């Protein structure tokens, strides 16, 4: 088991709302599909985000979020008291006060350094909290692109900001480096689903998709301290295990994609809300 920690990153890379990444890190992101950046946000910046994270994950906006407040590891409709993990999708849609926060500004700045072929914009964001002592608060191995409509340009940088330290005990992100460069996307199958009479897969039951992995593939773990970031791309095979600790694992996720890709998604009604009504058979040429 390998743990990846990037000791060269840190606050010395910060200048106002910018965070400088190196040429080697850009190459690593393209070749291996992920990056780890330590100590990106300061403690006082984090405290402002804590307030909204705790507000949402305590369910204070749940009454108007429908499926956007859910436990992605279980079927929709699971009672809140039985949640193992709490997902709050698109928090700044529900509380616009969150728009343009410091995490957004820094992630946008890093996206621009990672992506030179177009304009990287925020596509969606989510809060993810794993409850203490919940062995099944896990994300099955998947590739993010397996969840999304097909678009010409798939470029994505998904930023996970640790609001709590994350480690092997509380279910930090893990992944298989280099799988981002596989030619074909792996076959994703819904964890819970019913087939319609036409044989099409109905994903109304739950959001989770799963893929098979080979036990010989090397999985690496990305433990990070509070205020640090992991960044992964849309094709890398990744997931996370349950939380065996006595504390919450808290993560704020933002995904940046090419501005034209986002426009294509929106044109078919795809906003990354779990309340979207999308024609999953639609393919954008």
Ligand X SMILES: O=C(O)CCC(=O)C(=O)O
Q: What is the C-alpha to C-alpha distance for residues 154 and 255, in angstroms, rounded to an integer? A: 12
- Compute the radius of gyration of the chain from its Cα atoms: 18
CB count, 10 Å around CB of 66?
13
Nearest approach, Cβ of 16 to ligand X (angstroms)?
27
Contact with ligand X (CB under 6 A): which of 73, 160, 170, 245? 160
Give the interface segment with ligand X, choosing from 3-11, 30-38, 105-113, 238-246 (CB under 6 A).
238-246
In sequence order, what are the residues at sequence separation of 6 or more whose Cβ sits closer than 8 angstroms to the Cβ of residue 217?
Answer: 176, 179, 237
Q: Residue 268 in contact with residue 278, Cβ under 8 Å?
A: yes
* Measured CA distances, 66 to 84, 245, 263 (Å): 18, 29, 24
In this structure, what DSSP letter does residue 107 have? H
Among 240, 243, 261, 264, binds ligand X (CB under 6 A): 240
Q: Is 158 in the site for ligand X (CB under 6 A)?
A: yes
Q: Does 188 bind ligand X (CB under 6 A)?
A: no
Task: Give the residue with the Cβ less far from ligand X, 23 or 206.
Answer: 206
Using CB under 6 A, pick the residue from 89, 106, 253, 254 that binds ligand X.
253
Tokens of 229: 């970031």
- Number of chain positions touching ligand X (CB under 6 A): 11
* Site map (CB under 6 A) of ligand X, residues 78-117, x = contact: ----------------------------------------
Among positions 112-141, residues that touch ligand X (CB under 6 A) are 128, 139
Q: Which is nearer to ligand X, 19 or 221 (CB)?
A: 221
CB of 211 vs ligand X, minimal distance in Å: 12
- Residue 202's beta-bridge partner residues? 194
Does position 144 interact with ligand X (CB under 6 A)? The reply is yes
Tokens of 4: 């990846």
Which is nearer to ligand X, 91 or 116 (by Cβ)?
Answer: 91
Residue 72 · residue 274 · CB < 8 Å: no
Considering the complex, what minimum distance in angstroms separates the CB of residue 241 from ligand X?
A: 8
Part of the chain binding ligand X (CB under 6 A), chosen from 37-45, 59-67, 194-202, 237-245? 237-245
φ/ψ of residue 103, rounded to 5:
-65, -45
59: left (phi over 0), alpha (psi -120 to 50) or beta: left
Shortest approach of ligand X to residue 23 CB, angstroms?
26
> How far apart (Å, rounded) are the C-alpha atoms in residues 50 and 41?
12
Residue 173: CB minimum distance to ligand X, A: 4
Q: Which of residues 165-184 bind ligand X (CB under 6 A)?
A: 173
Angle between the N-to-C axes of helices 23-32 and 102-114, in degrees from 0 to 180, rounded to the nearest 10: 80
> Which residues in this chain contact ligand X in the complex, by CB under 6 A?
128, 139, 144, 158, 160, 173, 238-240, 251, 253
């Amino acid at each position: 088991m390998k743990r990846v920690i990037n000791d060269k990153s840190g606050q010395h890379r910060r200048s106002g709302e910018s965070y400088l990444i190196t040429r080697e890190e850009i190459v690593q992101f393209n070749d291996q599909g992920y990056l780890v950046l330590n100590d990106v946000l300061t403690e006082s910046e984090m405290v402002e985000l804590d307030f909204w994270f705790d507000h949402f994950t305590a369910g204070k906006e749940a009454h108007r979020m429908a499926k956007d407040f859910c436990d992605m590891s279980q079927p929709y409709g699971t009672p809140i008291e039985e949640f193992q993990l709490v997902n709050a999708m698109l928090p700044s849609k529900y509380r616009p006060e969150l728009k343009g926060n410091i995490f957004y500004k820094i992630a946008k700045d890093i996206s621009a350094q990672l992506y030179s072929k177009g304009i990287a914009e925020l596509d969606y964001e989510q809060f993810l909290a794993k409850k203490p002592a919940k062995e099944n608060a896990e994300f099955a191995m998947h590739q993010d692109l397996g969840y999304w409509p097909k678009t010409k340009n798939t470029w994505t940088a998904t930023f996970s900001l640790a609001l709590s330290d994350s480690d092997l005990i509380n279910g930090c992100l893990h992944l298989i480096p280099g799988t981002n460069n596989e030619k074909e996307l792996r076959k994703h199958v819904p964890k819970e689903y019913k087939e319609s009479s036409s044989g099409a897969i109905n994903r109304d039951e739950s959001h989770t998709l799963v893929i098979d992995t080979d036990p010989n593939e090397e999985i690496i773990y990305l433990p990070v301290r509070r205020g640090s970031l992991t960044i992964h791309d849309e094709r890398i095979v990744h997931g996370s295990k349950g939380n065996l600790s006595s504390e919450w694992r808290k993560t704020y996720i933002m995904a940046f994609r090419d501005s034209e890709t986002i426009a294509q998604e929106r044109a078919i009604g795809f906003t990354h809300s779990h309340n979207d009504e999308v024609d999953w058979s639609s393919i954008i040429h």
